[in-house]
């Protein structure tokens, strides 16, 4: 996996039992003081926080151990339905690798991260065009839960949307996130869909 530079960025981390992909939409409900403070600071500064899949531990309570590769989450909408509860809609930005991390006194995990190179947009290969009808149906059914832009002509976008939407184990989603080769990701997903009868099998 290639890194964009040796420069490290300090980034607050939110370990969760989910995997956020670039351009993915992630709703969140925030109530723990450490994360309320983190989100407030991010909104004030217009900065993202990092979402990492939990490798060990839980979302609430003691600070969890994150997987080393995660995705920046940019806050697009927020609301406070009641005192002490923030609802957010975030969208995934760039991937990063956690090089080092520390736990602050309030329990917030802060990482020293290196941003990862993102592949340039690539057209959908002819061999994977059979993925598009099903994905278009799913996106239409999701409606506002997956707002535009919808880039069905981009192999990276298509693979990321399938990876986040399919009911596969979180560890498998994490491995798909870490893949730099977007065509390999499409091939893996295509094989999964064929094996589960969601796409016609090859003769």
pLDDT tens digits in sequence order for the chain, 203 residues long: 445 456 899 999 999 999 999 999 999 999 999 999 999 999 999 999 999 999 988 777 777 889 999 999 999 999 988 888 899 999 999 999 999 999 998 889 999 999 999 888 999 999 999 999 999 999 999 998 899 999 999 999 999 999 999 999 999 999 999 999 999 999 999 999 999 998 876 65
| φ, ψ dihedrals at 26, nearest 5° | -130, 110
User: How far apart, in whole angstroms, are the C-alpha atoms of residue 80 and residue 78?
Assistant: 7
- What global pTM score does this model have? 0.90
User: How far apart, in whole angstroms, are the C-alpha atoms of residue 48 and residue 55?
Assistant: 21
Give the tokens for residue 69: 């590769």
Domains and CATH numbers, the chain: 8-115 (2.30.130.40), 126-196 (1.10.4060.10)
User: How far apart, in whole angstroms, are the C-alpha atoms of residue 182 and residue 25?
Assistant: 19
| Chain-centroid distance, C-alpha 63 | 20
């Amino acid at each position: 996996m290639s890194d964009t530079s040796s420069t490290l960025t300090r980034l607050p981390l939110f370990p969760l039992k989910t995997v956020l992909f670039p351009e993915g939409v992630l709703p969140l409900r925030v109530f723990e003081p450490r994360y309320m403070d983190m989100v407030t600071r991010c909104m004030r500064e217009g900065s993202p926080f990092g979402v990492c899949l939990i490798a060990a531990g839980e979302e609430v309570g003691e600070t969890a151990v994150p997987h080393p590769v995660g995705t920046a989450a940019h806050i697009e909408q927020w609301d406070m339905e009641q005192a002490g509860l923030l609802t957010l809609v975030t969208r995934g930005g760039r991937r990063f690798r956690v090089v080092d991390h520390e736990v602050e006194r309030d329990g917030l995990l802060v990482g020293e991260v290196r941003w990862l190179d993102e592949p340039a947009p690539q057209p959908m290969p002819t061999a994977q065009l059979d993925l598009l009808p099903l994905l278009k149906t799913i996106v239409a059914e999701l409606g506002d839960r997956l707002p535009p832009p919808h880039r069905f002509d981009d192999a990276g976008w298509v693979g990321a949307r399938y990876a986040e939407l399919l009911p596969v184990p979180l560890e498998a989603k994490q491995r798909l996130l870490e893949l730099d080769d977007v065509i390999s990701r499409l091939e893996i997903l295509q094989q999964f869909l064929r094996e589960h009868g969601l796409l016609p099998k090859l003769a």
